[in-house]
Amino acid sequence: MQALEQTSKDELLSKIKDGKYMLFFSATWCPDCAFIKPAMPEIEAEYPEFEFLAIDRDENIDLAAELNIFGIPSFVAFDDGQEIGRFVNKDRKTKTQVEQFIDELK
């Protein structure tokens, strides 16, 4: 999973304008993020149509606010620069829940 450095919303939208992307917002201090992180390589492998981008919420607090990311871990899906779905809340997320979210995008 590619980790994005600090970026603006415009820079992000330029990067994800072509193709399918899954943004994974997390933070190093977040226990619920640490819970789902070990499952992420397997989730990525199951959904090769998406390029997964890891975004540290603390390094990108303005971006997170602009995208209404108020809980982590959170997932936001884009297709050719357009948001097609989000799994954003403050709850712990299981691998099964993340897979169900991605499956519903198809």
| Catalytic choice (12, 27, 33, 69) | 33
Cis omega (within 30 of 0) for bond into 48: no
H helices, E strands: number in the chain: 5, 5
Starting from the edge strand earliest in sequence, which strands make up the sheet with 82-87, in order?
2-4, 50-56, 20-26, 74-79, 82-87
* Annotation says 3 is catalytic: no
Is 26 an active-site residue? no
Catalytic residue among 30, 76, 88, 102: 30
> Which residue, 73, 61, 80, is CA-closest to 23?
73
The residues carrying an active-site annotation are 30, 33
